[in-house]
């Protein structure tokens, strides 16, 4: 059973729309399911979903905790749906390798970037003094969406959009509706970072999406994407996400409101006690917290849940992040 969002604040784990690190995803989903997240949001890829469900099933068997499964898609170009690339043969042998040092998922080594581990955060791109690293778009084509929905049968879909992309959003919404796949929730993720609009423009964009989704008969979630993929950087990113929420909260259409993009352990303390959103999504910060433990067990060819001591430690770490929202 999915935990009621009426008794607790809603918490979602974002595994990453371009994250295909199957081994880590299984462990990550096991850890955060056991720690009590309500939903887990993964790439729209059957093998990623299979790994996520393995981890969630473990949590269901051991802890009776079974979050919902959400897949992320986009109605156009979006930084959540990209990866980075460079040709290692072009790197000078004496480079101090800032790209490798800055990558939060250890995706870079002498052979270049591991496609599966890269989730497109973009930090390595800016770090290369020779500008050797480029990004490329990495997402599902709209033509495959119907098939993927049927294959995966997720509980929910998140559609990433930008303020001025209502037409593209409409097309994606139509595909979802015509697929016949019954969803419990549709989340709409949009922020100001890419479109350089004002809070009122963002509110207008959410109202347009509300009209488009009116006949879908699912619960709607408005995800405010403050500073995309930056939650593990600093407290300031949490502040930016909270500020966006404060500027826009009274302007949004009916539905759950969820903070994302820059959210981390500092978010809760920046919120006024009488102004807490319905929910929060944690991405890079959640992954970074437990990644070293996952990696340690992975190096011994094990899943983290095959090592009860490490698993207990990982769940405790995850709970520290979730606790303010689950009490």
Report the residue number, 266 or 284, with the smaller CB distance to ligand SF4: 284
Closest distance to ligand SF4 from the beta carbon of 230 (Å): 11
- Closest to ligand SF4 by CB, 162 or 232: 232
Please tell me the distance from the alpha carbon of residue 257 to that of residue 249, in angstroms, as a whole number.
8
Least separation, in Å, of the C-beta of 207 and ligand SF4?
A: 33
End-to-end CA distance of the chain: 19
How buried is residue 90: exposed, middle or buried, by Cβ count under 10 Å (0-12/13-18/19+)? Answer: exposed
Minimum CB distance to ligand SF4, residue 84 (Å) = 4
Nearer to ligand SF4, 125 or 163 (CB): 125
Q: How far apart are CA 57 and CA 50, in angstroms?
A: 10
- Closest separation between CB of residue 92 and ligand SF4, Å? 6
DSSP string, 304-318: GGGSHHHHHHHHHHH
Nearer to ligand SF4, 130 or 312 (CB): 130
Distance CA 229, CA 300 (A): 29
Between residues 108 and 163, which has the closer beta carbon with respect to ligand SF4? 108
Closer of 262 and 279 to ligand SF4 (Cβ): 262
Q: Are 305 and 34 in contact (CB under 8 A)?
A: no
Which tokens is 131 given?
């500008």
| Nearest to 12, CA basis, from 254, 207, 246, 224 | 224
| Nearest distance from C-beta of residue 130 to ligand SF4, angstroms | 5
Q: Classify 256 as helix, strand or coil.
A: strand
Looking at the Cβ atoms of 3 and 117, the one nearer to ligand SF4 is 117
Residues of the shown chain interacting with ligand SF4 in the complex, contacts defined by CB under 6 A: 84, 86, 91, 95, 97-99, 102-103, 105, 107-108, 113, 118-124, 127-128, 130, 132-133
3-state secondary structure of 118: coil
**Shortest CB 195 distance to ligand SF4, Å:** 22
Q: How far is the CB of 37 from ligand SF4 (least distance, A)?
A: 22
Number of Cβ within 10 Å of residue 4's Cβ equals 9
3-state secondary structure 79-103: CCCEEEECCHHHCCCCCCCHHHHHC
């Amino acid at each position: 059973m999915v935990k009621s969002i009426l008794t607790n604040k809603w918490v979602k784990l974002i595994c990453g729309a371009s994250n295909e690190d199957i081994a880590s995803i299984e462990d990550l989903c096991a850890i955060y399911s056991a720690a009590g997240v309500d939903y887990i949001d993964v790439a729209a890829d059957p093998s990623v979903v299979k790994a996520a469900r393995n981890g969630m099933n473990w949590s269901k068997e051991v802890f009776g905790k079974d979050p919902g499964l959400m897949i992320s898609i986009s109605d156009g170009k979006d930084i959540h749906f990209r990866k980075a690339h460079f040709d290692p043969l072009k790197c000078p042998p004496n480079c101090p390798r800032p790209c490798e040092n800055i990558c939060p998922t250890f995706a870079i080594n002498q052979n270049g970037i591991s496609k599966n581990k890269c989730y497109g955060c973009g930090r390595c791109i800016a770090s290369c003094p020779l500008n050797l690293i480029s990004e490329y778009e990495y997402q599902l084509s709209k033509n495959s969406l119907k098939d993927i929905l049927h294959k995966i049968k997720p509980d929910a879909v998140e559609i990433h959009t930008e303020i001025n992309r209502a037409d593209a959003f409409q097309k994606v919404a139509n595909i979802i509706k015509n697929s016949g796949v019954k969803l419990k929730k549709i989340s709409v993720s949009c922020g100001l970072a890419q479109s350089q609009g004002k809070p009122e423009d963002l509110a207008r964009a959410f109202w347009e999406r509300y009209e488009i989704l009116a006949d879908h008969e699912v619960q709607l979630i408005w995800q405010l994407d403050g500073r995309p993929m930056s939650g593990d950087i600093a407290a300031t990113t949490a502040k930016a996400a909270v500020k966006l929420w404060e500027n826009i909260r009274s302007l949004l259409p009916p539905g759950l409101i969820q903070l994302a993009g820059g959210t981390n352990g500092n978010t809760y303390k920046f919120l006024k006690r009488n102004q807490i959103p319905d929910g929060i999504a944690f991405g890079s910060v959640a992954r970074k917290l437990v990644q070293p433990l996952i990696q340690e067990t992975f190096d011994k060819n094990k899943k983290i849940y095959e090592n009860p001591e490490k698993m207990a430690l990982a769940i405790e770490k995850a709970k520290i992040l979730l606790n303010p929202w689950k009490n």
